[in-house]
Structure 1
Amino acid sequence: MANWGTDRDVIQTAHQWLQEGHALVLVTVLKTWGSSPRPPGSLLVMRPDGVHVGSVSGGCVEEDLLARYRQNELSDLPVRLDYGVDRQEATRFGLPCGGRLELLLEQLIDPDQLQPLLSAMEQDELVARRVDLTGDAVSLGPASADQAFSYTDEAISKVFGPQWQMLLIGAGHLSQYVSQLALMLDYRVIVCDPREEYAAGWQVPGARLIGMMPDEAVGEYTGHPRSIVLALTHDPKLDDMALLEALGSEAFYVGAIGSQRNCDARRRRLRELGLSRAQIQRLHAPVGLDIGSHTPPEIALAILAEITALRNAATAVVRNPDAVNVV
């Protein structure tokens, strides 16, 4: 069994395997050079029988690590390893030309080693796991949303928990699909809907449902540079309240559902309500990439694709003025 796995997947699986009596090795990408497939901080946990979850490369490095583990070549842990230190080795391990990885391997033998970290993640807390590379001590401490993975000769520090927060206005059908995708992408998801009939049908574990008014929810839960606000009700009384607050905040992304005609009318309303032209230009509406989406799952995919592209700054997002969201 193998899959890429989120940090939470890796830690939950490792904890379960330790409870079952397996010895494990936790592998962390410390540093990359060139076009390495996985970024620093990526995780892999592996058992001696070859079962593993997570990823540190495209697959070939994992195969070599597992082979060395089965052959007892990784007994003196913790240890740092280099892969792809020259062109020939980079090609052998499936790394792009010139690619190189530096990895940290740690031995895990007791579920108590991961229980505090797992408990913090289950509470959606942001924590930094620090490994002292001079004395091998491991500690947990509070972390901030903008804290990045760090690696020096003395220690590494990796943040666990949702560093990005998404507030959805409306607990309708579309919000369920957006929530599910966002949770897979490790967002903290909060769904705001004061309408009892919608709140009663909410069924997405892991996404917190609140019943306050949308403008209050924006003020309470978002506004920092790592927050996302999506107005998804089709009801101007609710969506516009949230947008008025969100477009004047530091939120990274503010979007709203609707056809182009409805979105143009919304922009006029927001202008009449006092928002500046610059604030209104921040609004992504119709929300999401234009992929010809019509069903709720397709629209959710388009929304998360656009946010991901902007977050990664990897793609120039070209918007189609004729795009329409249909639910």
Structure 2
Amino acid sequence: MTDPSCAVAHGEAEAETATRTLVAVFATPVAEYLLKYGADLGYRTLCHDPRDGALPPLDGTADVVVTDHHRPELGEVLRDVLAHPVRWVGVMGNPRHPGPHVEALKQLGVAPEQIERVHRPIGLNIGSRTPPEIAIATLAGLLADRNGKPGGFFQERSDRA
């Protein structure tokens, strides 16, 4: 009997994955690679930059990655994302520095349990430095989560409210 995983790896069978949406927030170099690689991994991809209009409706298939934590509209964007039943939301950032999203969301009156839905830092700890490396680390973490595996994520939700 053939191992189903081997059959998929050898191109003899199709992978069975649930449809997921990958939303990269803010048009950045990392977002460009997230969307490019994410499409190859079977995600329906879209980029949302608040300068281009309102956030589209998002459902429980959406994994939302905020690619710039320095933007002044960070709090408003996250508040709007959290108003949707998204499956997962994370903010990129250096784990050695506090996440600015927590205070921004508190100032907007977002409930602590909603703030705790935001993951930071995100991705696998592989020493990423360039936009393609950061995208790969982030997607590897999302794939591990999608497949129910721990994947070596950084500490989960280290910036709790």
- Flag the structure with more relative contact order, 1 or 2, with Cα contacts below 8 A and sequence separation at least 6: 2
1:268 corresponds to which residue?
103
- Counterparts of 2:112 and 2:81, CA distance in 1: 14
- Superposed CA RMSD: 3.1
Is residue 2:29 matched to residue 1:193? no
- The CA deviation string for residues 193-246 of structure 1, in whole angstroms up to 9 with x for no partner, is 255xxxxxxxxxxxxxxx21xxx31xx231x11111111133433332221122
1:221 corresponds to 2:77 = no
- After superposition, the C-alpha distances for 1:44-86 in whole angstroms (9 at most, x for unaligned) are xxxxxxxxx93239xxxxxxxxxxxxxxxxxxxxxxxxxxxxx
C-alpha separation in 2, matches of 1:241 and 1:295: 27
CA distance in 1, matches of 2:38, 2:57: 16
Q: Which of 51, 54, 62 does residue 11 from structure 2 map onto?
A: 54
Using a 3 Å threshold, how does the CA distance of structure 1 residues 305 and 35 change in structure 2: closer, same or farther? same
Aligned equivalent of 2:89, options 249, 254, 257:
254
Aligned to 2:19: 163
Go from structure 1 to structure 2 and tell me whether the alpha carbon gap of 1:194 and 1:277 turns closer, same or farther (over 3 Å shift).
Answer: closer
Q: Displacement, 1:318? A: 4.1
TM-score normalised per structure 1: 0.42
In the alignment, the residues of structure 2 paired with residue 166 and residue 56 of structure 1 have an alpha-carbon distance, to the nearest angstrom, of 24
Q: TM-score, normalised by structure 2?
A: 0.79
Letter in 2 for 1:221: P
Of the two, which has the highest radius of gyration? 1
Deviation of the 1:316 alpha carbon: 5.6
Tell me the percent identity: 27
AA aligned to 1:172 is T
Q: Corresponding residue for 1:37? A: 5
Matches within 5 A, 1:220-239: 220-222=56-58, 224-239=59-74
- The answer on 1:290 being equivalent to 2:125 is yes
Tell me the distance in 1 between the aligned counterparts of 2:23 and 2:124.
19
Shift of 1:182: 0.4
Counterpart residue type for residue 77 of structure 2: A
| Structure 1 counterpart of 2:28 | 172
**Contiguous gaps of at least 5 residues in structure 2:** none
1:177 partner amino acid: Y
Question: Are residues 243 and 301 of structure 1, via their aligned partners in 2, closer, same or farther at CA, if it must alter by over 3 Å?
Answer: same
CA distance in 1, matches of 2:87, 2:60: 5
Q: How many residues align?
A: 155
